[in-house]
Structure 1
């Protein structure tokens, strides 16, 4: 069953993206309907916003390894993004996939695609689980 996470953080409210869990076992996705607020001076998706989407999809994918809701916090240790094609207006979706790691660090790759199937960007990152005692 797909569950949507909306308006969880200030960044999510500001940018307007939606996180989905339960789409595919062990993988989360993050989507955004692009409008003029998300575009750069060339009228394509701003690279920083593309990175936000990949970061959230990958971090939530890490979270799913310990929490079915995808709400257990994971922090980005590193994130490398390669931009492959312009992101044109429409819906873009980032997905994460675990590629390795252990108990506290996860290696997670991401893809950002336009609704027409165009691969806009890919990422590789290291994400760390935030211990519960650090949250209080």
Structure 2
């Protein structure tokens, strides 16, 4: 993976994202996240908006990976299904490009706990936008 993944995105740094692997030809990426206690609701579960941001990031990173880090996803629609409560700690995100056209893309992502249990799933429709300076 290229250095821009680690340094270009402020949200990547804020969410504490760790790169695991990618397959640019398949349009997939695997990332690790580490939601913290300060990101929880009163029940102690990671707040849904944080999980949605993690899913959105995995989908955007999958699109960027499939395009040599020269394209960013501008999300126009996103659907999230929260399947299980998520506690602070390591979460694995897998993002995929389902279909990419010149003006629209279809993306999906899933979040898993370290045991491999599916926690949340998201899909999005996005516009592929060139990253400035690439």
Normalising by structure 2, report the TM-score.
0.81
Q: Distance in 1 between matches of 2:54 and 2:95?
A: 10
Aligned partners of 2:126, 2:21: CA distance in 1, in Å? Answer: 17
Alpha-carbon distance in 1 for matches of 2:20, 2:64:
12
Q: Paired residues, what number?
A: 131
Aligned equivalents of 2:9, 2:64: Cα separation in 1: 16
Give the match's secondary structure for 2:66.
coil
Structure 1 residues 42-79: Cα deviation after superposition (integer angstroms, max 9, x where no partner): 11111111111110111111123322xx3532211111
Q: Which residue of 2 aligns with 1:90?
A: 89
Residue 103 (structure 2) aligns with: 104
Equivalent residue, structure 1, for 2:73: 74
SS of equivalent to 1:13: helix
Structure 2 vs 1, CA of residues 104 and 18 (structure 1 numbering), >3 Å: closer, same or farther? farther
8 Å CA contact 1:32, 1:93 repeated in 2: yes
Pair 1:120–1:71, CA change in 2 (3 A): farther
Structure 2 gaps of 5+ residues are: none
Task: Answer with 100-109 or 84-93: which moved more.
Answer: 100-109
Equivalent position SS for 1:86: coil
Gaps of 5+ in 1: none
Q: CA deviation at 1:20?
A: 4.8
- How far does residue 100 in structure 1 lie from its aligned partner after superposition? 2.5
Give the structure 2 partner of residue 126 of structure 1.
Answer: 125
Structure 1's 85 and 104: CA in aligned 2 closer, same or farther, altered over 3 A? same
What displacement does 1:3 show? 5.7
Alpha-carbon deviations, 1:97-126, whole Å to 9, x = none? 222342231111111111121211111111
Task: Name the TM-score, length of structure 1 as normaliser.
Answer: 0.80
- DSSP-derived class of the 2:46 partner: coil
